[in-house]
Amino acid sequence: MNKKTQSEWLEKLPLLQSVVEQKEVLWCNPSVEWVAAGLLKTHLSKVDIVDASDRLERFAPYLAKAFPDTDKGVIESPLTPIPKMKRELETAYAIQIPGKLLLKQDNALPISGSIKARGGIYEVLKHAETLAINSQLLDSTKDYSQFDTPVFRELFAKHKIAVGSTGNLGLSIGIMSAKLGFHVTVHMSADAKQWKKDLLRSKGVHVVEYIDDYSKAVEEGRRQAEADPSCHFVDDENSTDLFMGYAVAGERVAAQLKEQNIIVDEAHPLFVYLPCGVGGGPGGVAFGLKLALGDHVHCLFAEPTHSPCMMIGMMTGMHDQVSVADFGLDNKTAADGLAVGTASAFVGKTMEPFLTGCYTVEDQTLFTLLKKLADSEDIWLEPSALAGMTGPVQVIQSKLPSADFKNTTHLVWGTGGNMVPADEMKRYYNHTGK
Ligand SMILES: *Cc1c(COP(=O)(O)O)cnc(C)c1O
């Protein structure tokens, strides 16, 4: 494929000018289609999500035993109305948000306190299950709590798991793999926080640090893992297992909405705002939501103004063949979970018919909203996890159809926070900007 220069792209796609200028922008995806039509363009389907969901159910007895903080072995988070935060947004942006505002609290997910407790843990469990089946270790009871026994740990001790991560994926993979008994290595980029490295090392995880960014850590981790047949590399950019682990969230949220008597149909649309790094987490969740709730759920990805890799990748259709650096952006952001310069092509292509759009957020906005949410609702998220919070403002100001209905529900995906040490959180809260 021929590679256009920046000025050629700017001529073709004028919105990119504002992206280059690091302004907060909203891009509407012209390729979004009905779910049924979109499904014809991917090999992924409901069957894959059901398979993942069933597998998590099989593992629940194990997780309940190994992680008593799970709800009977189910890794799920609350769906919380945040009316006080809605008023804060209305005041700060001088707009009306006629619908409801909900927060999906993945900050409170058990085991690793972020959205990565969905996909990351799922992929490790699936790998462990495959090894156990291949070794004919599962007894006839098929009770998965036996994964928490010495024979299983001895098997897994002969195997390795590796991952490249900006932090939270490393935490999920590291904690889960170490618990099962695997040798696990986390390849971390320079922007990963020290406390994450310390925490992982305290659990017996091997942490390798790189001075380069995320893509470099992944590349190096992949290269080392490929040379070792006993090593399973969790590929954040290409893994369908990760994607499906995230996608299970769709049916779970559908059930939570039903419990709260919230309807999703043409007259009651649902807008969902998902912070996006490489794309697997928000992509998987959005895919699951589209399949569970249909055409009237509208999903948008949120990215930092310095790292809008998915927006650029989808807008140009070049996916992983372009990076934010090609547009003069430095990929430097306090939202460490979103500090990704090149998006996953697998996710970008899969999401093409399903995604309503992408928008960007300034770092300073993340800190301002972090404080507002803590003050108004006493909910504490990490900076990355606030990227979804300007979603309602973006879609209403941009006059997206049905965004300002009184029966519209806005769902902000709060992707992480509970693992952040108190002193670090205090610094976020007191962040005054420069
Ligand atoms: C990883 C992460 C995301 C984005 O997930 P991707 O799969 O990288 O797109 C968002 N928020 C937080 C807190 C994360 O850790």
Whether the CB-CB separation of 62 and 342 falls below 8 Å is answered with no
pLDDT of residue 210: 87
Pocket test for ligand 1, best of 112, 116, 320 (most atoms within 8 A of CB): 116
Residues 6+ apart with CB under 8 A from 149: none
For 138-169, write each residue's pLDDT tens digit. 888 889 999 999 999 999 999 999 998 868 99
| Ligand 1: residue whose CA is nearest its atom 11 | 415
H helices of 135-279, in order, are 150-157, 168-180, 194-202, 214-226, 240-247, 249-259
For 223-242, write each residue's pLDDT tens digit. 989 999 999 999 988 999 99
Task: Give the type of residue at 121.
Answer: I
- Give the CATH number of domain 6-111+243-430: 3.40.50.1100
Report the atom number in ligand 1 closest to the C-alpha of 276: 9
| Cα 142 to ligand 1 centroid, rounded to whole Å | 33
Q: Give dist(CA 121, CA 119) in Å, integer.
A: 6
Q: DSSP characters for 288-309?
A: HHHHHHGGGEEEEEEEETT--H
In the block, residue with structure tokens 């292509």: 349
Does residue 305 surpass a pLDDT of 50?
Answer: yes
Pocket test for ligand 1, best of 239, 240, 272, 276 (most atoms within 8 A of CB): 276
Report the atom number in ligand 1 closest to the C-alpha of 281: 7
| Ligand 1: residue whose CA is nearest its atom 8 | 277
| Ligand 1: residue whose CA is nearest its atom 10 | 275
Residues having CB closer than 6 A to ligand 1 are 114-116, 168-169, 275-282, 337-338, 382, 384-385, 415-416
| Cα 338 to ligand 1 centroid, rounded to whole Å | 6
Report the atom number in ligand 1 closest to the C-alpha of 274: 10
Identical fold for domains 6-111+243-430 and 116-241, yes or no, is yes
Pocket test for ligand 1, best of 415, 420, 425 (most atoms within 8 A of CB): 415
| Cα 303 to ligand 1 centroid, rounded to whole Å | 10
Residue 372: φ, ψ to 5°: -60, -40
Could you confirm whether domain 116-241 is CATH 3.40.50.1100? yes
| Ligand 1: residue whose CA is nearest its atom 2 | 337
Residues 6+ apart with CB under 8 A from 223: none
Across the range 298-310, mean pLDDT stands at 98
For 364-380, write each residue's pLDDT tens digit. 999 999 999 999 999 99
78: tokens are 């609350």
| Ligand 1: residue whose CA is nearest its atom 14 | 337
What is the pTM for the complete model shown? 0.97
Q: Give dist(CA 221, CA 418) in Å, integer.
A: 27
Pocket test for ligand 1, best of 111, 118, 168 (most atoms within 8 A of CB): 168
Does residue 192 surpass a pLDDT of 70?
Answer: yes
Residues 6+ apart with CB under 8 A from 427: none
Does residue 261 surpass a pLDDT of 90?
Answer: yes
Across the range 201-215, mean pLDDT stands at 87
Does residue 113 surpass a pLDDT of 70?
Answer: yes
What are 28's strand-pairing partners? 357
Q: What is the rounded average pLDDT for all residues in the chain?
A: 95
CA count, 13 A, side-chain hemisphere, 373: 31
Percentage of the chain beyond pLDDT 70 is 98
Per-residue pLDDT band for 434 (boundaries 50, 70, 90) equals very low
Domain ranges of the chain: 6-111+243-430, 116-241
Q: Are strands 357-361 and 26-28 parallel, antiparallel or unpaired?
A: antiparallel
Q: Give dist(CA 85, CA 83) in Å, integer.
A: 5
| Cα 108 to ligand 1 centroid, rounded to whole Å | 14
Residue 154: φ, ψ to 5°: -65, -40
pLDDT of residue 2: 60
H helices of 21-67, in order, are 35-39, 46-66
| Cα 169 to ligand 1 centroid, rounded to whole Å | 8
| Cα 222 to ligand 1 centroid, rounded to whole Å | 19
- C-alpha separations of 184 from 109, 197, 203, 225, 266 in Å: 22, 13, 10, 11, 47
Q: Provide the sign of the torsion angle of the four alpha carbons 344, 191, 78, 268, taken in this order.
A: negative
